Chains A and B, each alone.
Chain A
Amino acid sequence: MPSKTCALCHSARPILKRPKTGQQICKDCFFKVFETEVHNTITEANLFRTGDRVAIGASGGKDSTVLAYVMKTLNERYGYGLELFLLSIDEGITGYRDDSLETVKRNQEQYDMPLKILSYDELYGWTMDRIVSTIGRKNNCTFCGVFRRQALDRGASALNVDHIVTGHNADDIAETVLMNIMRGDIARLGRCTAICTQGEDTIRRSKPFKYAYEKEIVMYAYFKKLDYFSTECIYSPDAYRGHARAFLKDLEAARPSAIIDIIHSGEAFEVKQEVKATQKLQQTCKRCGYMSSNELCKACTLLEGLERGLSHAVITDRARQKLDAEEPPSQAMRTIPYFNLPRAPGVTS
């Protein structure tokens, strides 16, 4: 039976049962605890410094739309002193990304934040539509994932920001923990629960919604009437993640704390030094200057495959070396512009 009054203010009528705590709370208390928990996540992890330029990775979907709204709210309420930007990547998927970018453009107006859109076409010379029409629907998510990661960094570099925040939520992170266990990817398992990742030559990336449940994000968007876009990508979703997600949702239905419990398990894993040592050292891509664990970064390798019409053969590093021995890449081949990291924080150029 529903309680008569909110578990926090003991006066208003409850409208939501919190999955994390089981508490029944009213609308105003919900907004307050949701925002305060994100603020606590940010301050406990020391995510920002006054004056930081921060890009919000914005897809127009629920998580990034709520993130933009909450970041703006907290920045004003607690005086973080951040300069906020919206950064969107246009993969070139007709009927999907073009519609969601319209949402981001409205968010730009609604939240009064500068927006930068960087397209695969501009950066790589290929849209996802063209990639799929060339290689089919088998590996297209690999291309899209590799290209998006690098595009976000390059967009951030163009905006000269110090930091990228993304809308990854607790459900996403729990899902990734499960996937890394099921794939035996111990190195990633050790990293995937980190709230902030930063290599020596990468832009800081963090996840202020690390402990925010998807249910609460969606409820927040609903009660605040935020404008977001929700359609599945038209090029078959990541099937493996889909199974992990369905499994996680079943667990959550049986016991709502499952999501936070899985994140805690992921955090508690200690990866042995010997295992860490097997990870390849980071270097710089000899062609485009982006960080890479091989001579060529993944995006350059994939792009070369597309350009040479051999996208299936070129997916592994070994296959590419074999190909190079047979026939070196042509000079006219499209490559990615050279990557320059923005100035180090606090250093004036």
Chain B
Amino acid sequence: MTDSQVLNLKVEFGGGLELLFDKKRSHRVALPSPPSSPPDAAKKTPADINFLIHWLKDNLLRERAELFIENGTVRPGILVLVNDTDWELEGEGEYVLQEGDEIVFISTLHGG
């Protein structure tokens, strides 16, 4: 019954990643619920950061996907923050998103 539910998120890109996303640093995202996994359709797949990463690649990314995503997650060297906390403290890609969350992606790969 809650299949059509969306999560409203604020997504930010920095460190040069914004160049891949329409050169905009800050985006408002209405993230749809992920499709249920076939073997157990009754069980809902949680909308986690891994799902967000794929959704961003399919919906917001404008160019050079290989600079953002690698082996199903962000490319090594991209930092992720969940509500201003290192995602490594929040379960990384398995963090289940909540309404109003702020997710920041920062590339460290650009020259200093």
Contact = CB atoms under 8 A, between A and B. Distances in A.
A253 interface: yes
Interface stretch (B1-9, B32-40, B81-89): B81-89
Contacts of B111: 59, 61, 230, 232-233
Interface of B: 14-16, 19, 75-77, 79, 81, 84-86, 88-91, 104, 106-112
Contact of B106 (A2, A218, A249, A252): A218
Contacts of A267: none
B86 A231 contact: no
B5 to A, nearest CB: 26
Nearest to B18: A230
B69 to A, nearest CB: 14
Given A2-B89, A17-B88, A219-B86, A61 B79 contact: no
A17 B86 CA distance: 7
B108 A215 contact: yes
Given A214-B77, A214-B108, A245-B109, 8 more contacts: A15-B84, A15-B89, A64-B112, A218-B79, A223-B84, A231-B110, A245-B77, A252-B76
| Majority SS at the chain B contact face | loop
A191 to B, nearest CB: 21
Closest 7 pairs (CB-CB, A-B) = A63-B112, A249-B76, A61-B112, A230-B16, A2-B89, A230-B110, A17-B88
Contact of B112 (A14, A169, A249): A169
Contacts, number: 75
A253 B112 contact: no
A269 to B, nearest CB: 26
Interface string A142-157: 0000000000000000
A82 interface: no
Contact of A218 (B75, B84, B90, B108): B108
Contacts of A215: 79, 108
A230 B14 contact: yes
A180 B39 CA distance: 51
Most buried by B among A214, A217, A223: A214
Interface of A: 1-2, 13-17, 24, 59, 61-64, 167, 169, 171-172, 214-215, 217-219, 222-223, 230-233, 245-246, 249-250, 252-253
A240 to B, nearest CB: 15
B88 to A, nearest CB: 4
A239 to B, nearest CB: 14
Contacts of B84: 15, 223
Contacts of B91: 1
Contacts of B88: 17
A231 B16 contact: yes
A171 B112 CA distance: 11
10 contacts: A2-B90, A14-B89, A17-B86, A61-B111, A64-B112, A214-B108, A215-B79, A230-B107, A232-B16, A232-B110
A204 B104 CA distance: 39
B90 to A, nearest CB: 6
Contacts of B76: 246, 249-250, 252-253
B89 A62 contact: no
Nearest to B106: A218
Nearest to A100: B111
B85 A15 contact: yes
Nearest to B110: A230
A171 to B, nearest CB: 8
A231 B109 contact: no
B74 to A, nearest CB: 10
A169 B108 CA distance: 12
Contacts of A64: 112
Contacts of B89: 2, 14-17, 24
Contacts of B90: 2
B102 to A, nearest CB: 13
A41 to B, nearest CB: 17
A62 B15 CA distance: 8
